[in-house]
Amino acid sequence: MNNHHPKKVRVGISSCLLGQEVRYDGGHKNNPYIVKTLGEYFELVPFCPEVASGMSTPRPPIQLRETEQGVRCVGVKDHQLDVTDQLQHCVSQQDHWLASLCGYILKKDSPSCGMERVKVYKDDYPNRSGTGILAHYIQEHFPLLPMEEEGRLGDPHLRENFIQRVYVMQRWRNLNAEGQLNVHNLTVFHSQHKLIAMSHDQHLAHDLGRLAASARKHNLNEVAEQYGLELMACLKKTATRGNHVNVLQHMQGYLSTKLDKEDKTELIDSIENYRQGYLPLIVPITLLRHHFRKMPDPFINRSFYMSPHPEELAALNNI
């Protein structure tokens, strides 16, 4: 099975999460899991939009606020202090390195970095409907780029989902690197990721298969562009236990004539125990890896489903 992963993947990150003292109060929000664990596998590229746009540290805190000109980023105490244009201009100058990333980890709740549910004030009342200026820019200009907030990475399912998307994005970037994209390679890429897509959404995975199969020399670029968008949208949906069970049973089908009765029963029990929540996903996967090592299959060999990211990240152990 496919378990080749590049050494380090470039991932952008809010600087304060790396311990850099760039917050409005001169502090930081060091996140040990990101720094120590993800930092082993990700080349973390720090960026603080507020500092990069010329603000000092420390500085007056800012917030999103509804105004007659729409939602603006203004001072918490002095609403006349409007830094919206300054921040927007700064983030619009970052495409040269944003384009090289395979993911982005953002500080939650920040009017500059927050990915979702950032407080937007109207008079003295906040509603959580905002997106930070940098996060909004990335969503608009780099729609394929996996993004996640540091707080959500504490959830094992969201964490695994983000790490998986980062590695898929890395392979997608490699495929689209100069000279690599052709009809054959797109088909291979789809077969490598078909089971992963199925674990997120069976219907979307089916549509992706049809889309990849429609690629010809004359329409390759349009199909690939659409495929990238649809694949990343599919993977954004959190994989469900039911979909994983379907994928595991699908793989089990490749072994149906090869396993003896005892091994077959053990595998079926392991999938059923996972379905009922008694075992984590890694258990039936480990069993399947063992059988496919002894009885290789070309489709399973190509697939990244059983090794979507480096084993040492242990991201499959708690889902």
Chain residues binding ligand SF4 by CB under 6 A are 14-16, 22-23, 48-50, 107, 110, 112-113
Q: Which is nearer to ligand SF4, 49 or 284 (CB)?
A: 49
Q: Which is nearer to ligand SF4, 14 or 303 (CB)?
A: 14
Helix (H) or strand (E) holding 96: helix 95-98
Q: Which is nearer to ligand SF4, 62 or 271 (CB)?
A: 62
* Cβ pair 65, 121 in contact under 8 A: yes
CA nearest neighbour of 38 among 103, 113, 114: 103
* Cβ pair 288, 271 in contact under 8 A: no
CA nearest neighbour of 45 among 91, 13, 19: 13
CB of 51 to ligand SF4, least distance (A): 6
Q: Which is nearer to ligand SF4, 15 or 63 (CB)?
A: 15
Q: Which is nearer to ligand SF4, 14 or 170 (CB)?
A: 14
CB of 238 to ligand SF4, least distance (A): 25
CB of 116 to ligand SF4, least distance (A): 14
CB of 75 to ligand SF4, least distance (A): 14
Token reading at 138:
């990335």
Q: Which is nearer to ligand SF4, 94 or 249 (CB)?
A: 94
CB of 9 to ligand SF4, least distance (A): 20
Give me the half-sphere count of Cα atoms (radius 13 Å) on the Cβ side of residue 263: 14
* Cβ pair 181, 224 in contact under 8 A: yes
Measured in residues, the chain has a length of 319
Residue 38: DSSP 8-state: I
CB of 94 to ligand SF4, least distance (A): 13
- Three-state DSSP at 165 gives helix
CB of 54 to ligand SF4, least distance (A): 12
In whole angstroms, give the CA distance from residue 98 to residue 114.
17
Residues β-bridged to residue 106: 149
N-terminal to C-terminal alpha carbon distance within the chain: 21
Q: Which is nearer to ligand SF4, 48 or 235 (CB)?
A: 48
In whole angstroms, give the CA distance from residue 49 to residue 104.
14
